[in-house]
Structure 1
């Protein structure tokens, strides 16, 4: 660690020990939001578990390969006051056009806590933000999101002396991961997982695997379903 970073960390820790510090109070109901096209709106519950009143600010951000101006969603209320142990329902609306109808689309929902102005001196206040994926799901898509996670196609690529894992998703749904690993011989190698979009493929780095690895292996992955639960999968793979 260089001297500049050490000094900044030291000063920050000293400030925390000598000052009051505001920590995150909001609890968001869920890890993701699913918005079926058959529904008129989606909702998200936010609860204040802290001891003080807070303000929350909410907004929607562009997903991968989207421009901010192309977001066809609105969220209300965008700004709200939350008392201790109270909750607020955030309502999300889709304008009815602007997204593909043959596959899922994803954007981000951000909820930020804005602490009230402290009456104490030397108080460090931090605005905490939580970010969730919002999946817009058109009507009539073939298959299900759970089937998409099970039906992924996996391949090993060796390029420029590196071993890469390729995940191909032929479905109309996104597949998100909590964990991906390669088991070769008696060793397990962690993979840096990346969400795979509909009818898309993603390359993932396999950590620490030797360039000489080959033969039969197994791949194990945990997908995240609509409710945030982890689903385990396993398949054989060849180098």
Structure 2
């Protein structure tokens, strides 16, 4: 199969594939990619745990889960973009930032995609073979040089307050730092009771961008929390490790 044919096949699959990382057999070496902006490139290691060869396509997008490589207009080059992985083998993918138009004083977020398509068995007609494509997406965070304090200090600087929404009581977090913060868990504590946030509909609902706000709905909290309310939350650090924090909730 020619490179052009592979591109067309994989591009078509991108349009209909569902992101099912739990079932994918090509494993990414990390849960997120931190790209220090002065670096010429960063590398991502993939490992195939398949029993058969697979075709892989890699690309970046800016948050659109339905993005395809042809539509993604972002300042990065991924090499190689398409390749074949044999069972049990590893592959290093290089990501290079081309240097255009991103904020110099805060982190920027992109998503690294891995599309995995099992190779067609020799001698089997395509119409007689069911092939499933799996796509995995992880965050790529571009970190400019010279940002104040450090990413690990950002969660303690978040500001929490009570708000109301169409769904009832909620808390809102404001991020005054230049770092993106990702949440694993958010619980408001009122009078000894814990009230967990409603599950996020997308990855954007699990984080707060620099200078932005995110709301967490609390469906089982039936009355406004009082002045003693606090929030216990877990964030994920640069290595994907869960870190526990506590903060007061402003009225």
Shorter chain as denominator, the TM-score bin is 0.7 to 0.9
User: How many aligned positions are there?
Assistant: 215
Q: 2:235 is matched with which residue: 205, 213, 223?
A: 223
Q: 2:144 is matched with which residue: 138, 149, 160?
A: 138
Is 1:46 the counterpart of 2:46 in the alignment? yes
Aligned to 2:83: 80
Please list, as runs of the form range in 1=range in 2, the aligned pairs for 1:1-239 lying within 5 A after superposition: 24-63=24-63, 70-118=73-121, 123-159=129-165, 162-192=168-198, 194-239=206-251
Distance 1:113 1:150, change over 3 A: same
Question: Greater shift after overlay, 111-120 or 137-146?
Answer: 111-120
Q: Is the 8 A contact 1:214 1:238 kept in 2?
A: no
Q: Could you say which structure has the larger radius of gyration?
A: 1
Distance 1:199 1:135 in 2: 16
Q: Give the TM-score normalised by the residue count of structure 2.
A: 0.79
The CA deviation at 1:98 is: 1.4
Q: Is the 8 A contact 2:111 2:140 kept in 1?
A: yes
Q: Is the 8 A contact 1:216 1:238 kept in 2?
A: no
Q: Report SS of the residue matched to 1:146.
A: helix
In the alignment, structure 1 segments of 5+ residues that lack a partner are 1-22
CA RMSD in angstroms comes to: 2.1
Distance 1:103 1:189, change over 3 A: same
